[in-house]
Amino acid sequence: MSAAEPDWNLYRSFLAVLRERSLSAAARALNLTQPTLARHIDALEDAWGFELFTRSQQGLAPTEAALELAPYAETIEANTAAMLRTASGLGAVAKGTVRISASEIVGAEILPPVLAELRQRYPGLEFELVLSNAIDNLLRRDADIAVRMVEPTQEALVVRKLGTVSLGLHAHKDYIVRAGKPASFNDLAHHSLIGFDRETPAIRAMRSRVPGAETLHFAFRADSDIAQWRAVQSGFGIGICQVGLARRELNLVRLLPDVFDLKLGLWLAMHENLRATPRCRAVFDGLASGLTKYLSV
């Protein structure tokens, strides 16, 4: 192994090849030439003394060494992005980029008007919105601020519980005209139900709170909450929606509210090191205000 420490740009090239499995595709992603990218990989292999990729019919296949090193390169990438976001917002004025992580529904349906109001108040702010039901690691700075439906348990976080979100069964009026209203939970077996494709720990926990839920059969299955929401809006059948969100849709009707009424907490979290950063403090407080208003309607 060479005693010289590799240039950080080489790690960026390594990650691009690892993700694209092709020198040409990785070069396009980084706006570099293919020979330049090849030299970067050669330089890393020379510095470390082993191969990172082997050629296969599918392109470049990572070696075991490359796969073992990948998480460290990803950490460098995340920290570099976090450093740039922090640098862009230093100073007394709330400006710069804030990266926000939220679930699909919260990020796509609830946050945009809240962020629009924040942008009007602080024109120097810019936002990166990550829509994912996975929980980003705030300590690793995958995001600056996270809106979560499960309570954060990591230490070194600033956490605020904003309230609870009510979930209920809903259907479009057109579907009810066609299929009728279920009078009991057992009646759901005779309806077109909208639900998940793969069961996650969160879904298992939610199902355990609804007696008989394990017997339900879904006629429409999707792991995307957005897809399920659109299916309910289109009149496909009966699905679970946030009650506050469904109230905005005049054509949606809540069903069996006395039988099915789930409550989930809503939390806002950020790394404690960002508490005094003007851009993150402004966005954290703005999100708290906007989401609390949403929960109160």
Q: For the residues of 41-80, what is the DSSP string, one character each?
A: HHHHHHHHTS--EEEETTEEEEPHHHHHHHHHHHHHHHHH
- pLDDT(83) > 80: no
Tens digit of pLDDT for each residue in 150-170?
887 777 788 999 999 999 999
Task: Give the whole-angstrom CA distance, residue 112 versus residue 266.
Answer: 17
pLDDT at 222 over 80: yes
Dihedral angle at the C-alpha atoms of 190, 196, 198, 203, nearest 10 degrees?
A: -100
Query: Is 138 exposed, middle or buried, given 0-12, 13-18 or 19+ CB atoms closer than 10 A?
Result: buried
Please report the pLDDT score of residue 136 as a whole number: 59
Residue 55 lies in a domain: yes
Judgement on whether residues 229 and 180 belong to the same structural domain of the protein: yes
Q: Which CATH number do you get for residue 116?
A: 3.40.190.10
Does residue 245 register a pLDDT over 80? yes
The verdict on 98 and 73 lying in the same domain is no
Provide the pLDDT for residue 96: 87
CA angle 135, 136, 138 (to 5 degrees): 125
Residue 230 forms part of a structural domain: yes
- 2 lies in some domain: no
Above 90 in pLDDT, residue 143?
no
The predicted pLDDT at position 81 comes to 76
Q: Is the pLDDT at 114 greater than 90, yes or no?
A: yes
- pLDDT above 90 (res 138): no
Among 51-60, 66-75, 125-134, 285-294, which range has the highest average pLDDT? Answer: 285-294
**Which pLDDT score, from 0 to 100, does residue 142 have?**
78
Q: Number of structural domains, the chain?
A: 3
Spatial distance between the Cα atoms of 286 and 144, rounded to a whole number of angstroms: 14
CA distance 216 to 72: 43
Binned at pLDDT 50, 70 and 90, residue 201 comes out as: low
Same domain (yes/no): 197, 243: yes
**Mean pLDDT, the chain, integer:** 87
pTM of the model: 0.67
* Domain CATH number, residue 72: 1.10.10.10
Tens digits of per-residue pLDDT, 21-52?
A: 988 888 898 888 888 988 999 999 888 889 99
Contacts 24+ apart (CB under 8 A), 246-249: 246/168, 246/170, 247/297
pLDDT of residue 140: 67
Lowest mean pLDDT, pick from 117-126, 149-158, 208-217: 208-217
Q: Over 90: is that where the pLDDT of 295 sits? A: yes
E strand or H helix that includes residue 253 = strand 252-255
Q: Whole domain around residue 61: which residue ranges?
A: 8-79
Top mean pLDDT of 74-78, 139-143, 155-159, 170-174 is at: 170-174
How many C-beta atoms surround the C-beta of residue 209 within 10 A? 10
Does residue 1 lie within any of the structural domains?
Answer: no
pLDDT at 211 (0 to 100): 67
Residue at a domain's end among 46, 79, 112: 79
pLDDT class for 171, splitting at 50, 70, 90? very high
Under 8 Å between Cβ of 21 and 67: no
Can you give the pLDDT at residue 162? Answer: 95
For the chain, what is the radius of gyration of the CA atoms?
A: 24
Last residue of a domain, one of 41, 62, 79: 79
In a domain? residue 3: no
